[in-house]
Amino acid sequence: MKNQPDLSALTTEELNKRAKIAKVVTGMLFGIILIQFAAGIYLTIQKGFNVFTIIPVAFLPLLAVNYYNVKKINDEVARRKN
């Protein structure tokens, strides 16, 4: 995994840019996972249990990690405003 610089070493402008990008990416990932859940439910009803029922569950940890990173960035920005 790529080493990310310490958030405290970044400028506020860089943090705001990262926060914006991370929010967009997390939102897109959330939307894709919702579509996968819908497709999995539909396919389960039509053809029975299959791998498409499990795939969205496998991506939930990735969504949690992205959400945690957005929260860390927002906390750092808020800390600097005080």
The tens digit of pLDDT for each residue in 45-65 reads: 999 988 888 999 999 999 999
| Nearest partner of 18 among 65, 82, 60, 72, judged by Cα | 72
DSSP assignment letter at 10: S
pLDDT < 70 stretches in the chain: 1-5
With a threshold of 0.95, does the pTM exceed it? no
Domain residue spans of the chain: 11-81
Whole-angstrom CA distances from 73 to 1, 25, 32, 39, 47 are 19, 14, 23, 33, 43
